[in-house]
Amino acid sequence: MRKYRKDYQPSSFLVEQVDLRVELDPTDTVVTAAMQVHRNPEAPAGDGVLVLDGDELELRAVRLDGVALSTERFEADSQSLRIPDVPERFELETEVVIHPDENTKLMGLYTSNEIFCTQCEAEGFRRITYYLDRPDVMARFTTRIEADCAKYPVLLSNGNRVDSGDLPGGRHWVQWEDPFRKPSYLFALVAGDLSCHRGSFRTASGREVALEIWVEPENIDKCEHALASLRAAMKWDEDTYGLEYDLDIYMIVAVNDFNMGAMENKGLNIFNSKYVLAKPSTATDDDYEGIESVVAHEYFHNWTGNRVTCRDWFQLTLKEGLTVFRDQEFSADMTSRAVKRIQDVTRLRTTQFAEDAGPLAHPIRPESYIEMNNFYTATVYEKGAEVVRLYQTLLGKEGFRKGLRRYLETHDGSAVTCDDFREAMAQANGRDLQQLERWYLQAGTPVVRAHGDWDESAREYRLTLSQSQRVFGEQTRPLPLPIPIRVGLLGSDGKDLPGASRTLELTESEQTFTFEGITERPVVSLARGFSAPIRLVVERTPAELAFLMAHDSDSFNRWEAGQDLSKRVLLGLNEDVLAGRPLDLGEDLVRAFRNVLLDPALDGSIKSLTLTLPSEEVLAQELESVDPDALHRARAFATRQLAAALRDEWTAAYRDNARGSDAIEKAEIDRRRIKNRALRYLTSLDESDTTARARARVRGAAGQAAEPGGG
């Protein structure tokens, strides 16, 4: 059944407290749930029928205020349990049987390598017990887990471990209590023969938090990086936003079978092993950075997602866009801001722009869905993060911080909407942010066209910006979006003209912005730092692109100019391949590459990224119809030509960066990246000595051979 955002109704009933008892067994697990339920005073009166969600549950018993209900007092089917004529306030106890071993959907409670684990987002809790399985029903949970001692010595759930004991028949139990109210999608349970890598963190206010990473015993030596990442994330959130962790214990469990990358269950994150486990002999720099960013992402959800959650699943970007933005900012501070921004924008362009241009395009806050699990998309996550970034670009870092704190203080402990977030940002900064809602309502990547004129006699530079959006079938015409465009003007010496660097706010279909006191013809640098998720169209000569690539003070745009120049050359080569003409790379790109390669001011990571040709996916987005073979040949030709023309420079870059340590620190990562980039160009020549060197490199690899963005 299709659900619509506009049809939201508060739940007729709320749950104060849930006490779960889970008797674990791989084939037949018995779940007993005692719930304190009451009518929601904020909801319309309704028909007084309590309707709980369920999925593949076998109902054994229902008790209302301690009295077993006969079967004519309720209706149960595969999707729901309906009980008419319930009192204002009551205790409901249900008993169901589930089959974790047969649960191949990996939603609810399932087994993976003899480990029991759960995934409840978005609607998996209803596969564990009958419940009001929606995020705006927030309750306190206690969980008693019972299991076989030998097979499942470790029993984990949310919150604090408060008691434990033995049972007859070689079984044992552990009692967990989570003091924070939470929606059911944040419930978690894990049981198995797991080992723990321990650490601790002292919060800014001096509380000691136990950090525990639980893995299969053979992986116990691969957890240190995840632990270090967690500590760094906890510290960063305190320093950046004043946000402290709130429980005495924080656990991460690594399991092999996991649909999502990881899950932010309160106090008990569950991760796909690949985002936890790493050791120097097998992990690449990208693996390490991936772990750091996912560990941080799940940690940051503790505030943006858990303490303040989503009213309904249409609001998913409220927690995901915001938390992706937070993990991006964290990684930018931990590694290199410029490199991180380039990587994130590249990912956005390859995955999300394609989504926005295709048949599955949807706004970051969808209007309807049939299956919520299909809405964990690049649009909700990555474009959502760009929309959150718009607030920071418009309000500044300090304004954004104030807004975020206002949002969390106002809504702590509740389930809210994207509109509540915008309102908190607006109030904290005394700004009207109404027009920003359009970013939540309209799908498609906006196109911004720019045209500049320098008026020598008036000493003015006039920049005209216009925007257009994708029109979807019979829907109403899209309205202009508010689009911040960060701009700088470069003089002939390559420096920014003083006073000309600004953030322009494009809010109409077309606007002209005037820069005064401009005494020479400038080269404009537009949308610095990728200041909005748009496609920018601007006329540039190859000479201008080469100039920006050499001088722009904004490192993102410097990279971008290089990509645009490469794109132009590669698309020209593609046409030559299609027309059967002889191929010639020309001089522009070689000269620009040489400048970057020899520039002592650029670090190895930025160099490596700037000297990476745009991928075939990105090139294909520029073409009406794509011949993948021709595109591949064009790109391979350019790679070989750049390798041959700069053979001495690549060889020197390789040699100068060949030796160092395997440390996971910026200088060493920079060194490895440029070395590997150089080697990659050299191997494209397919000559015996460079290829032998590459082989030796792979054999001797301490695993650091990979790099961002691929080939």
Chain residues in the site for Zn ion (CB under 5 A): 320, 323
Which position's Cβ is nearest ligand SER?
Answer: 260
Q: Toward ligand SER, which CB reaches closer, 324 or 534?
A: 324
Both structure tokens of 493: 């010496």
Based on the shown chain and the rule CB under 6 A, indicate whether residue 123 belongs to the binding site for ligand SER: no
Member of 121, 123, 237, 327 binding ligand SER (CB under 6 A): 121
d(CA 299, CA 237): 9
Q: Hey, how many other C-beta atoms are within 10 angstroms of the C-beta on 209?
A: 19
The residue count for binding ligand SER (CB under 6 A) is 9
Partner whose binding site includes residue 645, from ligand SER, Zn ion, none (CB under 5 to 8 Å by kind):
none
Minimum distance of ligand SER from residue 245's CB (angstroms): 17
Minimum distance of Zn ion from residue 275's CB (angstroms): 12
Minimum distance of Zn ion from residue 301's CB (angstroms): 6
Based on the shown chain and the rule CB under 6 A, indicate whether residue 262 belongs to the binding site for ligand SER: yes
Minimum distance of ligand SER from residue 130's CB (angstroms): 23
Minimum distance of ligand SER from residue 377's CB (angstroms): 11
Based on the shown chain and the rule CB under 6 A, indicate whether residue 252 belongs to the binding site for ligand SER: no
Q: Toward ligand SER, which CB reaches closer, 103 or 317?
A: 317
d(CA 551, CA 538): 18
Q: Which residue has the tokens 């955002």?
A: 5
d(CA 74, CA 38): 18
Both structure tokens of 496: 């920014």
Give all strands of the β-sheet with 483-490 in edge-to-edge order. Answer: 502-506, 483-490, 523-525
Member of 30, 34, 249, 260 binding ligand SER (CB under 6 A): 260
Q: Toward ligand SER, which CB reaches closer, 297 or 406?
A: 297
Both structure tokens of 260: 């999502």
Member of 375, 376, 454, 513 binding ligand SER (CB under 6 A): 376
Member of 263, 481, 565, 679 binding ligand SER (CB under 6 A): 263
What phi and psi values does residue 92 have, to the nearest 5 degrees? -115, 130
Q: Which of 588, 575, 464, 578 is nearest to 515 (CA)?
A: 464
Q: Toward ligand SER, which CB reaches closer, 276 or 463?
A: 276
Q: Toward ligand SER, which CB reaches closer, 249 or 372?
A: 372
Partner whose binding site includes residue 554, from Zn ion, ligand SER, none (CB under 5 to 8 Å by kind):
none
**Using the 8-state DSSP alphabet, how is residue 119 labeled?**
E
Q: Toward ligand SER, which CB reaches closer, 305 or 614?
A: 305
Q: CB under 6 A: which stretch of 51-59, 93-101, 259-267, 633-641 binds ligand SER?
A: 259-267
Q: Toward ligand SER, which CB reaches closer, 375 or 472?
A: 375
Q: Which of 366, 291, 396 is nearest to 335 (CA)?
A: 291
Q: Toward ligand SER, which CB reaches closer, 183 or 562?
A: 183
- Pair 619, 574: CB distance under 8 Å: yes
Q: Which residue in the list 93, 298, 320, 560 is annotated as catalytic?
A: 298
> How many angstroms separate the Cα of 247 from the Cα of each of 236, 265, 572, 627, 677?
17, 13, 59, 56, 45
User: To 10 degrees, the CA torsion angle through 538, 544, 547, 553?
Assistant: -20
Partner whose binding site includes residue 334, from ligand SER, Zn ion, none (CB under 5 to 8 Å by kind):
none
Q: Is 88 a catalytic residue?
A: no
Minimum distance of Zn ion from residue 187's CB (angstroms): 16
Local structure of 510: helix, strand or coil: strand
Q: CB under 6 A: which stretch of 213-221, 257-265, 396-404, 607-615 binds ligand SER?
A: 257-265
d(CA 48, CA 23): 32
34 CB burial (10 A radius; 0-12, 13-18, 19+): middle
d(CA 432, CA 423): 9
Does a cis peptide bond (omega within 30 degrees of 0) precede residue 122?
Answer: yes
Q: Which residue has the tokens 């994150």?
A: 269
Partner whose binding site includes residue 263, from ligand SER, Zn ion, none (CB under 5 to 8 Å by kind):
ligand SER
d(CA 567, CA 573): 10
Return the residues of window 281-320 that contact ligand SER according to CB under 6 A: 297-298, 320
Both structure tokens of 667: 């200088």
Partner whose binding site includes residue 382, from ligand SER, Zn ion, none (CB under 5 to 8 Å by kind):
none
Minimum distance of Zn ion from residue 297's CB (angstroms): 6
Residue 429 has, within 13 A of its CA and on its CB side, a CA count of 24
Q: CB under 6 A: which stretch of 83-91, 193-201, 255-263, 661-669 binds ligand SER?
A: 255-263
d(CA 318, CA 334): 24
User: Residue 190 carries which side chain, given as an amino acid letter?
Assistant: V
Minimum distance of ligand SER from residue 323's CB (angstroms): 7
Partner whose binding site includes residue 376, from ligand SER, Zn ion, none (CB under 5 to 8 Å by kind):
ligand SER
Both structure tokens of 268: 């008990």
Q: Toward ligand SER, which CB reaches closer, 376 or 454?
A: 376
Burial 622-635 (b: 16+ CB within 10 A, else e): eeeeeeeebbebbb
Mask 513-532, x = binds ligand SER (CB under 6 A)? --------------------
Minimum distance of Zn ion from residue 300's CB (angstroms): 8
Where does this chain bind ligand SER (CB under 6 A)? 121, 260, 262-264, 297-298, 320, 376
Catalytic residues: 298
